Amino acid sequence: DLAGRPVADLAGRHVVISAGGTREPLDPVRFLGNRSSGKQGYALARTAVARGARVTLVAANSELADPAGADVVRVGTAVQLREAVLKAAADADAVVMAAAVADFRPAHYATGKIKKRDGQEPDPIALVRNPDILAELSADRPHPGQIVVGFAAETDDVLANGRAKLARKGCDLLVVNEVGERKTFGSEENEAVILATDGAETIIPHGPKEDLADTVWDLVATRLA
Ligand code: CTP
Ligand code: CA
């Protein structure tokens, strides 16, 4: 408002946010992981709290401190993240999948540390697909008014890939980031375009992850109203 306080346009709403990156264990000391820091998901949680929402943050392997006022559920793997998000989503008005979810996990988990042997070539790592949580959330909504938001990190043909992904996932909004060696991962800032199922494209100029988060909530609040 005019005094600089945030508008409580999410008061009475429950929003669920996933953040960070899943880790898929190979043995007790090793995992397959990704470079997601969790910063964008945490910014979504902070801004949603500021706008009056009840917030459940499902955090995968993030080193960031719990955002004040949010319920934080910590998870490790994609399978654990799916379970926590589906449980929290049951009574949610909106679900935002900002987490980087591993597409594959090792087919086998070694309960003891994998050892190398003299003169032996390493075995290849067999992988299996993880569940697609965003597609599942979009297809099986607990109530028809629930808004589902995805994120997409693309390195090439960002808009075309984003449009195709929005259609494939079945979500309402897709935040498309261009990523590269020095872009987005671990950084304080972000730039993106948000694609909507109705064809709308909202360009978010380079800036703090809070600004992107607030634009996501603007679009969600409009669709909930
Ligand atoms: N996602 C998910 N479950 C997965 C993989 C991804 O819920 N197993 C979600 C992410 O949280 C993100 C969105 O789907 O919100 C898009 O992730 P992305 O990796 O860009 O999409 P994919 O369908 O995995 O496509 P790609 O082959 O480009 O990785
Ligand atoms: Ca993926």
For domain 14-112+123-224, give its CATH number from 3.40.50.10300, 3.30.413.10, 3.30.565.10, 3.10.20.90: 3.40.50.10300
**pTM of the predicted model as reported, rounded to 2 decimal places:** 0.94
Is 39 annotated to bind a ligand? Reply is: no
Using pLDDT thresholds of 50, 70 and 90, give the confidence band for residue 188: low
- Closest CA relative to residue 188, chosen from 206, 204, 209, 168: 209
Q: Where are the domains of the chain?
A: 14-112+123-224
Q: Is residue 184 scored above 90 in pLDDT? A: no
As a whole number of angstroms, the distance between CA 211 and CA 222 comes to 17
What is the position in ligand 1's atom list of the atom closest to the CA of 151? 15
Is 166 annotated to bind a ligand? Reply is: no
Q: 101 alpha carbon to ligand 1 midpoint, in Å? A: 6
User: Edge-to-edge strand order for the sheet containing 70-75?
Assistant: 70-75, 54-60, 14-20, 94-97, 147-154, 173-178, 189-196, 201-208
> What pLDDT score does 173 carry?
98
Is 113 annotated to bind a ligand? Reply is: yes
pLDDT tens digits, 83-94: 999 999 999 999
Using pLDDT thresholds of 50, 70 and 90, give the confidence band for residue 81: very high
> What pLDDT score does 145 carry?
96
Q: 97 alpha carbon to ligand 1 midpoint, in Å? A: 9
Ligand 1 touching residue 38 (CB < 6 A): no
Is residue 35 within 8 A of residue 21, CB to CB? The reply is yes
Interior/surface letters 32-54, b for 16+ CB within 10 angstroms, e for the rest? ebbebbbbbbbbbbbbbbbbebb
What is the position in ligand 1's atom list of the atom closest to the CA of 100? 11
Ligand 1 touching residue 153 (CB < 6 A): yes
Which ligand gives the minimal distance to the CA of 105?
Answer: 1
Q: From residue 127, how far is each of 21, 24, 25, 103, 106 by CA, in Å?
A: 18, 10, 11, 10, 4
Using pLDDT thresholds of 50, 70 and 90, give the confidence band for residue 156: confident
What residues act catalytically? 34
Residue 207 tokens, joined: 């800036």
